[in-house]
Structure 1
Amino acid sequence: MRLHILAALILAGCGVSNDPILGGNSASAQADRPGFEVQELAQFKEPWAMAFLPGTNQALITEKAGRLLLWSEDSAAVEVAGTPKVDYGGQGGLGDIVPHPDFARNRLVYLSWVEAGENDTRGAVVGRARLATDGGPRLDGLAVIWRQDPKVTGRGHYSHRIAFAPDGHLFITSGERQKFTPAQDMNQNLGKVIRLTDTGDVPKDNPFATQGAIASQIWSLGHRNLLGIAFAPDGRLWTHEMGPKGGDEVNLIERGSNYGYPIVSNGSHYDGKDIPDHDSRPEFNAPEVWWNPAISPAGMIVYSGGMFPAWQGDILMGALSGQALIRVDVDGARAAKGDQWDMDRRIREVEQGPDGSVYLLEDERNGVGGKLLKLAPVGG
């Protein structure tokens, strides 16, 4: 992987700051990948996800402890009422937020969160509600349309990212909750990519629909912790997931395919025990791109804007432990490592703005971080 060493971010202690970041380590690379500047726009408390509302310059931003905020660059963020009670702790809380493809007509938004169960168990859920703005923003008629099943102990690997396909189907990433074996168990929806209708029903053409029950929801299996999901303009579905100790992956998701975890991984167990690599078991779908050591991928878009034309059709993803913004070069069904820009901060979320600019949410730990950043071309 080409690692591009970039100028360090020097951000002012308050207000908006601009900092040019030059991509590439050669003249030709800089010509192909123009520089960008980073603007610090706002501060949030443990921000997790962000989505612009179609046809507006407003975005919804989730905070892990349970707040949902309506934000735009020209006004202060306003808290949205009617959010669910979340089970906050560890990796759990309020998660993803995505508008319905026909939001302009139906005002529906979809959000994920973690809810508590019996006997110290918990699991991710996805719900939908109408976003009303009269008298202040609020969620009306919030209803759960999907749940992780079963709920289990622990507070990690919920995944619960959401994406709509071009044909309107709803896709959900469901982590294996650090329990390993559920990823291969068709009687559990943990460690899977889920495909539903926009109402939460199971499509009749799902690959395992005839098996009924939980199996009917499943689109692909053998996953670990999927914190990024996005459709390319050609309709292909891409995800990334955290490997164990190393072995972070970008995958092209195919109908009914098994991606092998925990039987195979290009990483190892945290206690040092080996896991067979993907090439040892060709019956499993191997990643298109992988990293070792780990970068801890989070957030993901397939860029389609005009502000950075050289990135069109490529994956942009954040890195938590890697403290980077990463571009994966996509050509149809093929993918390869592209640029890795050192951001000197944990990047939780990547989002594309209406004008083609790129927004990043910085992860917050121990009261440090949590900024909303905007990328714009140098001199743009």
Structure 2
Amino acid sequence: MNIPEKSKDNINTHHDLSNLGIRKELHLIHDGDRCTMPHATFALHGDERKSFCEWLSAVKFLDGFATNISRCVFVRDCKISGFKSHDCHIFMQKLLPVAVGGYLRKDISLTLIEFSNFFKELCARTLDRNLLKQLDNDIVNILCKLEMIFPPSFFDVMVHLAVHLPREALLGGPVQYRWMYPFERYLGKFKRYVKNKARPEGSIAEAYIHIECLTFCSMYLHDIETRFNREDRNIDGLPDDEGRDGFSVFTQKFPPLGISTQLQLDDKLFKSARWYILNNCTEIATYLDEHYNTCKEKHPNSIDQTHSQQFPRWLKKRVQEQRRMDPSAISADLYAIACGPDPCVASYAACVINGKRFHIKE
């Protein structure tokens, strides 16, 4: 990102390359009293930095997959800061392979993609011993390629640590049982216990005892919500034995999130939504088959199109006729679905359905 005070593409690095006699294309260019520093091929400059930050700030993730990385991106200053450990893993394993191809030279981007895939395979839920042995060999070649791209000041003990990670996984098993995320979260929890900064240890001890007591007492409180009987974050709908007597399209319950806004559906979207509901309602399958057979006889060249366009109007007319002849033969749900929905709807920014949380793009 070529951020001042953080980038390895600085004047000291170029001096080191000159003293070592390597990477002549990055040596300082002296012109009298002036000195020019060539741009490194691995660094982003100018509009590239801004474009990359704009792309990164617009990335959307599944709910619970990662934090809101856009809060760590400052497009105006072309800076990235405030990443947590998990954010760094997400960036390296998921985002970096996608981003580098559009900004860096092909040989550099391929090397970074190999490096990202190395950590992606290493942090997988299940590990293959043969694959780990292959990674143990590949990481040596990957680091050699990185040494041909980045200056010597880039490499420290943390980069060298990658050589030992496949062997460690072979001996210790999957990474998620050994990494530091649970401990970091637990230490963060202790930090939130501190109310008296002059006595942090005492604050943590007192808060820990209080929470232990409350947790023990909550095991005997059955009429209020506690950590033992609290529903999942993405719980939705009704229990399986409730609210299942009516039509299937009316029994699906889900909790919307946020404040609702009134929205008037345009004619095309309204017709598409209505047809989708009617076509997927099993309780009116006999009406669908009857109208489909009628369309097959009268409009053999455009059966599906005629069926989808005329069925809502036909169903409403047919159900109203049957209701006039025998009101008890038509249920309230059937009459409601035949009359059709209101085009004025309540719109929400998010909802939970089938145990998944969905957000609109904005």
TM-score (norm 1): 0.18
Which one has a larger percent strand, Structure 1 or Structure 2?
1
Which one has a larger percent helix, Structure 1 or Structure 2?
2
Larger radius of gyration: 2
